[in-house]
Amino acid sequence: MASKVAVFGAYGHTGRFVVAQLRERGFVPVPSGRDTAKLRELAASHQGLDARPASVGDPASLDRALAGAEAVINCAGPFATTAAPVIEAALRAGIPYVDVAAEIEANVDTFAHFTDRARAAGAVIVPAMAFYGGLGDLLATAAMGDWTAADEAHIAYALSSWHPTAGTRATSAVSRQRRNGRRFVHTNGRLEYRHDDPPNLKWPFPDPMGTRAVIGEFTMADVVTVPSHLSIPEVRTYMTVEAARDVLAPDTPAPAAVDEQGRSAQTFLVDVVVRAGGVERRAVAEGQDIYAVTAPLAVEAVDRILTGRTSTAGVASAGEIFDAPDFLHSLSPHLSLQLPR
């Protein structure tokens, strides 16, 4: 019998990709979320789905939503609001939890609040199993290879455009409120707040893209996932200037589908460089639509957890719990890769 996987926030932009990917992989999605009308609409578009309304403010409704499921994927932001209640429900149900949170603060909270409990229970909780956080962590781990430590990790994003979803805008607003005008960097082995503006830099992306203007220290979830298990004191993330302008502009429209899969025309390149003692290693991934590619990342994670292809329990990022090169190669239908040999 096919495994049931609950999807909280299933009717959102990313949630719909996750539901479709689960069905494609042979799972039975169990869509959930607080908006009953949107759940019914989603269920009507996918014959046979058992839509289960639930709210993070109602633990009993979450328990009903997860009943009989073998795992849950949380796609509902802001994750500062949804992550903890859905994790609690997963712990009560005794099932793995995966989310697609790009919120730095929410990911920090997950590690801080659930590491000990999850490890004691033998539970699996994987935060940031998405384009931001998960993919960068897998690439950095693959680039490290047999290194046990490095001096620096640099994760540079080149997006052809960045049309934010309503969820991205909502989660960004929550993060800005929590930071109160500050920004994060990961330096000297820890997260620090900064009050100055991030630097404008140039990043040498691989050919044929070449050197591009980027916002330095455009900090993403990778500054939580990568150092959670890799001994790298300096972790920096970068974003091409045009994409940063898109996502920060209030009038940038939401993504528009251009193919039968619902993907937008956006393309991306993620360039990861780790350095140790003057030696450099690089891993690169290219693909289409950062929201769409999050779905195979999250669903592959669930598949590996349910089939025992993991290396630890507790709260763990992608690069720690999975075989990073093998995981990345499994995404070949969705990504083109250049990994160290």
pTM of the model: 0.97
Task: Determine contact, residues 101/83, Cβ cutoff 8 Å.
Answer: yes
C-alpha torsion 267→42→99→331, nearest 10: -40
* pLDDT at residue 38, rounded to an integer: 96
The predicted-structure confidence for 123-151, as pLDDT tens digits, reads as follows 999 999 999 999 999 999 999 999 999 99
Task: Determine contact, residues 104/223, Cβ cutoff 8 Å.
Answer: yes
Q: Where are the domains of the chain?
A: 4-130+294-324, 131-290+333-338
Sort 47 into a burial class: Cβ within 10 Å, 0-12 / 13-18 / 19+.
exposed
* pLDDT at residue 13, rounded to an integer: 97
Task: Determine contact, residues 127/110, Cβ cutoff 8 Å.
Answer: yes
* pLDDT at residue 335, rounded to an integer: 97
- The amino acid at 224: V
Parts of the chain with a pLDDT under 50: none
Radius of gyration (Cα) for the chain, nearest Å? 19
* pLDDT at residue 1, rounded to an integer: 72
CATH number belonging to the domain at 131-290+333-338, selected among 3.90.1300.10, 3.90.180.10, 3.40.50.150, 3.30.360.10:
3.30.360.10
* Alpha carbon 196 to its chain's center: 27
CA angle at residue 313 from 309 to 315, to 5 degrees?
Answer: 120
Distance separating alpha carbons of residues 209 and 267, to the nearest angstrom: 12
- Per-residue HEC secondary structure of the chain comes to CCCEEEEECCCCHHHHHHHHHHHHCCCEEEEEECCHHHHHHHHHHCCCCCCEECCCCCHHHHHHHHCCCCEEEECCCCHHHHHHHHHHHHHHHCCCEEECCCCHHHHHHHHHHHHHHHHHHCCEEECCCCHHHHHHHHHHHHHHCCCCECCEEEEEEEECCCCCCHHHHHHHHHHHHHHCCCEEEEECCEEEEECCCCCEEEEECCCCCCEEEEEECCCCCHHHHHHHCCECCEEEEEEEHHHHHHHHCCCCCCCCCCCCCCCCCCEEEEEEEEEECCEEEEEEEEEECHHHHHHHHHHHHHHHHHCCCCCCCEECCHHHHCCHHHHHHHCCCCCEEECCC
Fold identical between 4-130+294-324 and 131-290+333-338?
no
The predicted-structure confidence for 189-221, as pLDDT tens digits, reads as follows 999 999 999 999 999 999 889 999 999 999 999
Provide the CB-side half-sphere exposure for 103 (13 A, CA): 29
* Cβ atoms < 10 Å from Cβ of 65: 27
CATH number belonging to the domain at 4-130+294-324, selected among 3.30.720.200, 3.40.50.720, 3.20.20.30, 3.40.50.300:
3.40.50.720
